[in-house]
Amino acid sequence: MTDVVIAGIGQTPVGEHWDVSLRDLAERAMLAAIADAGGLRPDALYVGNFLSPVVSHQANLGALLVDHAGLNGIEAFTVEAAGASGAGALHMGYLAVASGYVDAALVIGVEKYTDQTGSELETAIAQSMDNDYEAVHGLTPTGQAALLMQRYLHDCDVPRQALGAFALIAHANGAGNPNAMYRKAIRPETYARAGLVSDPLNLFDVAPYADGAAAALLTRPELLPEAARARLVRVSGSSVAIDRLALHDRPDPLAFEAAGVSLQRACRQAGILPGDVDFFELCDAYSIYAALSLEAAGFARRGEGWRLAERGELNLDGRLPISTLGGLKARGNPLGAAGLYQAVEAVQQLRGEAGANQLAHPRRALVQSLGGPAATAVTHVLERLN
Amino acid sequence: MTDVVIAGIGQTPVGEHWDVSLRDLAERAMLAAIADAGGLRPDALYVGNFLSPVVSHQANLGALLVDHAGLNGIEAFTVEAAGASGAGALHMGYLAVASGYVDAALVIGVEKYTDQTGSELETAIAQSMDNDYEAVHGLTPTGQAALLMQRYLHDCDVPRQALGAFALIAHANGAGNPNAMYRKAIRPETYARAGLVSDPLNLFDVAPYADGAAAALLTRPELLPEAARARLVRVSGSSVAIDRLALHDRPDPLAFEAAGVSLQRACRQAGILPGDVDFFELCDAYSIYAALSLEAAGFARRGEGWRLAERGELNLDGRLPISTLGGLKARGNPLGAAGLYQAVEAVQQLRGEAGANQLAHPRRALVQSLGGPAATAVTHVLERLN
């Protein structure tokens, strides 16, 4: 397989874009990524989106966005895997370029959550779970995360406030990201006083759903002028794994098996060990997800992922920074677009363009996105080419 | 790029499967395709589906179906491009195998249309069009096809009954397909007497929406035992193109531009001319689509596609048979699954397993699927390997 690099990135601020349509939001990120790649024209567009058919009454987004961006003639599809949709689009773009089938693939994650309001939204998001056995009985992703957290606190004898360390990290980092939804650090007392959303999850254990679009342009390095190569980031690992969808089917609900499998595979493909990376953009849709992701990746023993956070090892100046531009928690969770925000932010770090949150000379990132309760797990290893 | 072959196929009958869930319907086709490939285990699953999030309240189908079929650990996604979703999944499977990233990819198209009834269904299907500029004003795909047909009859001076020849071919061929929804030939008088659905479309100009699942297992030929190679079908061309989504944006609404572009590209990739194929599984979701597809492919001049049908050239014993197992019109139109039915039927023909409808020693097939009003066009060239 040939080398695949990210030559351009683009993103809109994450938040509530009441005055922007899905197609306009997407276009901003797409055109920004193309411009950032020096105007390189893509041969294909893969669109990561989760909610549009239900929330915006619009399917066939490949055709819609190619048309809207004036790229007619190229190929396009929607890739859907709930919250991992954006990461899935990145994976598909990677395959298309790696196969030699296309020279340049534009991948975009877009979510226009605010095209609806009210209870239909939580119903729509619950489609990421097993509808017939879970959602139809009233369970939501947030309710499910609460069950997982309860089990974690009980089984692993973890103090209730321990997971708050993840929210503190995310909000501290969000403060330095101009595209983040929440740009204010919070204090431990703020976390401790926060109202419950679904016992034991409080407001700061739950990432806010939001609108947003992020895009990346993938190509082969030899197709770019020499001058452009200094900023390139290589996709050196790209792997997807599936776990049982319904939580009740899993032998151990606290083991995010697919997360572990896809991460191991991506690292093997990149020829590295997980510990060889400089930072980890993980899925902190819920604080409990962050803890379980660290444990599935082998960075912490079972029941101890939160200790890394508490000891400061996951801060920007720590051993393994996470959520370096705010994560889903503070940057916001634009669902089907989240995976591409994570990848775009990793590229910002690797290029040295992360502003106030810049890590010291990072060479290599792990980026992981989860769809459903870690039923779909997508992991990428991204590396500076030079 | 490496050779990619179809090593196994599977399908359920097309129709109204009131008593079968989406996951069970899909499982039947998936397991049949795996069994047909001698039990070869896939590394990836790409799911073509259009309506499930709206109609069955279930997204994340990759995770759902991998789990349900007991294939946990492999990678999976949904690929969506309205009526071209199944063909899109086939294209993605092709890219994954061609890239060398996976050894074997299972691709499935599944649609469970009967999970809802009533007007929501037509609304859901209208999401294939431009929602903000077309669907929201009440236009449906069927209404849009009626506008196209009206324009065709007028601009090209075509007699009203001329397009009926396509329905006669489809129903004649459906009679010989045990998986078809309608297995009865119709006579010209039946067509002439049929009630209008949307003037000038009558009942027989419109393919019936239906439930169904069809699957194919893709791999590289060198991974199969020598004995299995006799039945292999090579994917020698796989191409996708996008046209403007909204009909009013097209310089010539009667030119299915994306259909022409993707077909030319797929033929170039396969190193053939369109006229070198033995049959053409085209998209006859509406009889007018069949005529415009033949014209876009260059098999007929503008306004004359129907003449090929009238002259018998598209019959099973004609120069270029179409819809050889009934097409969308008589086999039924399972929307997001339709593209995989078309491909699976082409494989049946190429293997000599098409029963009563078997063509005489076909070597090469063109298979084309359309999403939205030919906004997304996916074309495959399939060839007997031996």
User: What pLDDT shows up at residue B98?
Assistant: 93
With bands split at pLDDT 50, 70 and 90, how would you rate the model's confidence at A184? very high
- Give the model confidence (pLDDT) of A132-161 as tens digits: 999 999 999 999 999 999 999 999 999 999
Residue B152, Cβ neighbours under 10 Å: how many?
24
Query: Which own/partner contact pairs does A246-254 have at CB distance under 8 Å and 24+ positions apart?
Result: A246/A129, A246/A130, A246/A133, A246/A134, A246/B67, A247/A134, A247/A144, A247/A147, A247/A148, A247/A373, A248/A133, A249/B67, A253/A148, A253/A151, A254/A148, A254/A151, A254/A152, A254/A155, A254/A156, A254/A292, A254/A295, A254/A302
**CA of B365 to nearest chain A CA: how many angstroms apart?**
21
> What's chain A's average pLDDT?
96
Q: Kindly report whether the global pTM for this prediction surpasses the value 0.90.
A: yes
pLDDT on residue B147: 97
Determine, for residues A57 and B99 on separate chains, whether the beta-carbon distance falls below 8 Å: no
Report pLDDT digits (tens) over A185-201.
Answer: 999 999 999 999 999 99
Put simply, the answer to whether B53 touches A53 (Cβ < 8 Å) is yes
**Contacts of residue B245 in chain A, CB cutoff 8 Å?**
60, 63-64, 67
Q: How much of chain B, in percent, has pLDDT values that exceed 90?
A: 94
Domains and CATH numbers, chain A: 5-118+209-231 (3.40.47.10), 136-208+236-384 (3.40.47.10)
> What average pLDDT score do residues A256-285 get?
98
**By the 8 A CB rule, do A165 and B90 touch?**
no
Q: Which residues contact B375 (CB under 8 A, 6 or more apart)?
A: A60, A63, A67, B82, B128, B129, B242, B243, B244, B245, B258
For residue A350, is pLDDT > 80? yes
A386 confidence band (pLDDT: 50, 70, 90): confident
Q: Among B303, B307, B302, B330, which Cα is nearest to B319's?
A: B307
* Residue of chain B nearest A79, judged by CA positions: B79
Could you read off the pLDDT of A222-235 as tens digits, one per residue?
Answer: 999 888 888 999 99
Comparing A61-70, A81-90, A110-119, the range with the smallest average pLDDT is: A110-119
What is the pLDDT, as a whole number, of residue B319? 97
* Inter-chain touch B77–A76, beta carbons under 8 Å: no
Chain A residues within 8 A of B380 when measuring between CB atoms:
none
Q: How confident is the model at residue A307 (pLDDT cuts 50, 70, 90)?
A: very high
Chain A's closest residue to B242, CA to CA, is A73
B123: confidence class by pLDDT, cuts 50, 70, 90: confident
**What tokens does B11 get?**
């399908």
Tell me whether residues A79 and B79 touch, CB distance under 8 A: yes
Give the mean model confidence (pLDDT) for residues A1-29.
Answer: 95
pLDDT at A120 over 90: no
**Residues whose CB falls within 8 Å of the CB of residue A162, separated by 6 or more in sequence, listed in order:** A306, A307, A310
Q: What is the pLDDT of residue B120?
A: 80
What residue in A sits closest to B371 (Cα-Cα)? A60
Contact yes or no for B76/B62 (Cβ under 8 A): yes
3 state SS of A262: helix
Question: Measured between CB atoms, which of A67, A129, A132 is closest to B242?
Answer: A67
Angstroms from A82 CA to nearest CA on chain B: 5
pLDDT at B89 over 90: yes
Select the residue from A77, A99, A144 to test the B interface by mutation, using most B Cβ atoms within 10 A.
Answer: A77
Model confidence over B332-385: pLDDT tens digits? 999 999 999 999 999 999 999 999 999 999 999 999 999 999 999 999 999 998
How far does CA B45 lie from the centroid of its chain? 19
Band (A333; pLDDT cuts 50, 70, 90): very high
B375 to chain A: closest CA residue: A63
Taking residues B302-321, what's their average pLDDT? 98
Contact B81, A60 (CB under 8 A): yes
Among partner residues B61, B95, B135, which is closest to A57 by beta-carbon distance? B135
pLDDT for res B122 = 84
pLDDT in tens, B43-66: 999 999 999 999 999 999 999 999
Q: For residue B263, is pLDDT > 70?
A: yes
Cross-chain Cβ contact A1/B54 below 8 Å: no
pLDDT over 70 at B1, yes or no: no
Average pLDDT over residues A209-232: 93
CB pairs < 8 Å spanning A and B: 215
